[in-house]
Structure 1
Amino acid sequence: MEDAVIEPEIIAPQEMLRTFEGINVAAPLVRYSKLPFRHLVSLYDVHITHVPMTLAAEFSRSLQARHSDFTTTREERGAFWLTERNKGPRRRVRGALVMQFAANDPKVFADAAQLIHPHVDGIDLNLGCPQRWAYSEKIGCWLLRQPDHVRDLVRAAKDRLGWNYPISVKIRVDPELERTERLVQTAIHAGVSHVTVHGRTRHQPSSDPVSLPSIRFAVEAAKGEVPIVANGDAWSTREAEQIRTITGAQGVMSARGLLANPALFSGYEQTPSSAVEHFVRLSTDYGMLFPLFHRHLAYMLESRFSRSEKLLFNSLASHASVVDHLESRGFQFM
Structure 2
Amino acid sequence: MATIKSNETITDRLSDLSLLDQPPEILCPQRIVNEFKQVNICAPMVRYSKLPFRQLVSEYETHITFTPMILAQEFCLSSKARDSDFTTNETERGTFIMEESRSTPATHPSKRKIRGSLIAQFGGNNPLYMGHAAALLKNYVDGIDINCGCPQQWAYKEGIGSALLRKPDLVRELVRSIKGTCGEDFPVSIKIRIDDDLRNTSRLIKTAIQANVSMITVHGRTRRQASSHPVNLEGIKFAREEALSSHSNGNGEIPVVANGDIFSLEDANKTREFCGVNGVMSARGLQENPALFSGYDRIPLAGIERFLDLSAQNGFMFPLFHRHLADMLGPWFTSREEKKYFNMLSSPPSVIDFLEETYNIHPSPLPEIIF
Question: TM-score band, normalised by the shorter chain?
Answer: over 0.9
Q: What is the SS of the residue equivalent to 2:138? A: helix
What's the TM-score, normalizing by structure 2? Answer: 0.88
AA in 2 matched with 1:312: Y
- Counterpart in 2 of 1:309? 338
Is the aligned partner of 1:319 residue 2:348?
Answer: yes
Could you tell me how far apart the structure 1 residues matched to 2:131 and 2:276 are?
Answer: 32
Q: What is the SS of the residue equivalent to 1:223? A: helix
Asked if structure 1 preserves the Cα contact closer than 8 Å seen for 2:147 and 2:192, the reply is yes
**Equivalent of residue 178 in structure 1, options 176, 196, 199:** 199
**Equivalent of residue 197 in structure 1, options 193, 197, 218:** 218
Q: Which residues in structure 2 correspond to 1:1-334 (within 5 Å)?
A: 5-86=21-102, 87=104, 88-223=109-244, 225-305=253-333, 306-329=335-358, 330-334=360-364
Could you tell me how far apart the structure 2 residues matched to 1:111 and 1:290 are?
Answer: 31
Gaps of 5+ in 2: 1-16, 246-252, 365-371
Q: What is the SS of the residue equivalent to 1:24? A: strand
Could you tell me how far apart the structure 2 residues matched to 1:223 and 1:5 are?
Answer: 37
Q: What is the SS of the residue equivalent to 1:51? A: strand
Could you tell me how far apart the structure 1 residues matched to 2:20 and 2:77 are?
Answer: 42
Could you tell me how far apart the structure 2 residues matched to 1:204 and 1:149 are?
Answer: 24
How many residues of Structure 1 are paired with residues of Structure 2 in the alignment?
334
Of residues 221-230 and 252-261 in structure 1, the stretch that sits farther from structure 2 once superposed is: 221-230
Could you tell me how far apart the structure 1 residues matched to 2:156 and 2:363 are?
Answer: 44
Look at both structures and tell me which one has the larger radius of gyration over its CA atoms: 2
Could you tell me how far apart the structure 1 residues matched to 2:220 and 2:188 are?
Answer: 21
AA in 2 matched with 1:195: I
Q: CA offset at residue 90 of structure 1?
A: 1.0
AA in 2 matched with 1:331: I
Q: What is the SS of the residue equivalent to 1:75? A: coil
Q: CA offset at residue 65 of structure 1?
A: 0.9
Among all aligned residue pairs of Structure 1 and Structure 2, give the percentage whose two residues are the same amino acid. Answer: 52
Could you tell me how far apart the structure 1 residues matched to 2:339 and 2:46 are?
Answer: 24
Could you tell me how far apart the structure 1 residues matched to 2:363 and 2:146 are?
Answer: 38
AA in 2 matched with 1:333: P
Could you tell me how far apart the structure 1 residues matched to 2:95 and 2:19 are?
Answer: 8
Q: CA offset at residue 2 of structure 1?
A: 5.2
Q: What is the SS of the residue equivalent to 1:295? A: helix
Q: CA offset at residue 177 of structure 1?
A: 0.7
Alpha-carbon displacement from aligned partner over 1:50-90 (angstroms, at most 9, x marks no partner): 11001000111111111110110110001000111123521
Q: Which runs of 4+ in 1 moved over 3 A?
A: 1-4
Gaps of 5+ in 1: none
Q: CA offset at residue 156 of structure 1?
A: 1.3
Could you tell me how far apart the structure 2 residues matched to 1:22 and 1:90 are?
Answer: 12
AA in 1 matched with 2:314: Y
Could you tell me how far apart the structure 2 residues matched to 1:7 and 1:93 are?
Answer: 8
Q: What is the SS of the residue equivalent to 2:144? A: strand
Q: Which has the higher helix share?
A: 1
Alpha-carbon displacement from aligned partner over 1:75-111 (angstroms, at most 9, x marks no partner): 0001000111123521111010000000101111001
What's the TM-score, normalizing by structure 1? Answer: 0.98
Asked if structure 1 preserves the Cα contact closer than 8 Å seen for 2:20 and 2:113, the reply is no
In angstroms, what is the RMSD of aligned CA positions? 1.1
Mark the CA change 1:125 to 1:7 in structure 2 (over 3 Å): closer, same or farther: same
